[in-house]
A = this chain, B = another copy of it.
């Protein structure tokens, strides 16, 4: 697997990954009917460093890295990751997380925080725990899951 910075030519491939995940509405607090333009603008917000994961020259995942806040909180990074549904279970998310932790360290961040890991996304919670993140907060019923109804969300954190 190859991790590299995004280019504008990757927009179509990224949207093919983002669209089904946002449409399902089960893992990100993003409107299910978000437009392609808004979704790409969100993923590639100014200040986000965006990377793609390639396997056999096909983009199978993408993530962004940013400072979670500014000023006195600017030493804490934040990331969002997404894996193509056809590439689930092949270690893409773990590879991106490992890459992002290295990138964050190189950029001088001292910690990384995930603000909103939906509790029903158990695979993600376990994966982030295995990558060194701890659950440091629980937001009660902070997410309305389209199938499960109200579910908690976790704040997860690790030092770098």
Contacts and interface: CB of A to CB of B under 8 A. Distances in A.
Interface of A: 22, 25-26, 28-32, 34, 69-76, 110-111, 113, 115-116, 118, 136-146, 153, 155, 157, 159
A151 to B, nearest CB: 9
Chain multiplicity (copies): 2
Contacts of A25: 71-72
A143 B74 CA distance: 8
A143 B29 contact: no
A153 B32 contact: no
Contact of A70 (B30, B70, B142): B30
Nearest to A28: B71
A55 B69 CA distance: 32
